Amino acid sequence: MAIKRKGNLTKEKILHFAKDAFYQNGYHATQLKSIAALADLSLGNLNYYFKKKDDLVEEIYRQFFTDIYHFIKKSAVINPLEQFCLFQFMVYTIVLTDEHNKRFYCEIIQDKSNYRVMHGLMREKYHEMLDALGSSPEHLDFEIILLAEFGTRREIFLNFFAGDLHLTLDQLVYYLIRNTCKNLEVPPSVFENLMTFSHHFIAEKDFSHLKFLA
């Protein structure tokens, strides 16, 4: 047990310094060896826990998403559709209102798309939403829904970051959620109710303690 605890502490130590390095320097300018040096570890020791930068990125996303969903559920929101809408509002508010977080997120989505990082993390949430809608698509149909969702989302963000889409944060999140609802065949009236609920929640709740990188 002591060895396991030490391993967990080392992993969290690496993540702490990785987040700081990514926040200060961005994704591309940060190397694993520099993270290892910050954490006072050999590169080989770091590679025992994270073999490549993308492994660190995936764990950072996983922790971030888990923290947000925990906050939402702790706030007594149990409907999967409401949870997902709030999740998107909170993620993009936290990420896009800080220039360092925004740069990192932009580099990830330009480099490889968030689908490769996020699809395993979000698969369960899409299943929950479909269950709430009483929909049970075949496996292939579900995979196509995910690919279409993340493909469209990536193109929206690439154009947004390039300055070709002139949208406010609220407008951006509105179109992202609307696209998800269309892909899942959510009735328009339900979509509008989700947006109203989400705006009230975001206005009333303080989630400033939730962090992406820093």
- What is the per-residue pLDDT across 14-69, written as a single tens digit (0 to 9) for each? 999 999 999 999 999 999 999 999 999 999 999 999 999 989 999 999 999 999 99
Higher pLDDT, 132 or 15: 15
Sign of CA dihedral 129, 126, 110, 15: positive
What per-residue confidence (pLDDT) applies to 1? 52
What's the whole-model pTM score?
0.90
Residue 127 has phi, psi (to 5 degrees) of: -60, -40
Within 133-209, residue ranges assigned H as helices are 139-161, 169-183, 188-204
pLDDT surpasses 90 at 157: yes
Q: Exposed e or buried b for every residue in 195-204, given b needs 16+ CB within 10 A?
A: bebbeebbee
Q: Which residue has the tokens 């493909």?
A: 151
Confidence of residue 6 (pLDDT cuts 50, 70, 90): low
Confidence of residue 122 (pLDDT cuts 50, 70, 90): confident
Name the residue among 171, 111, 169, 122 with its Cα closest to residue 147.
122
User: Quick one: average pLDDT of 105-114?
Assistant: 82
User: Quick one: average pLDDT of 157-167?
Assistant: 95
What per-residue confidence (pLDDT) applies to 5? 59
- What is the per-residue pLDDT across 71-88, written as a single tens digit (0 to 9) for each? 999 999 999 999 999 999
- What is the per-residue pLDDT across 186-205, written as a single tens digit (0 to 9) for each? 999 999 999 999 999 999 99
Confidence of residue 148 (pLDDT cuts 50, 70, 90): confident
> Pseudo-torsion of CA 64, 110, 169, 132, nearest 10°?
-60
Confidence of residue 151 (pLDDT cuts 50, 70, 90): confident
Residue 110: its H or E element:
helix 99-111
User: Quick one: average pLDDT of 161-187?
Assistant: 93
Number of Cβ within 10 Å of residue 7's Cβ equals 12
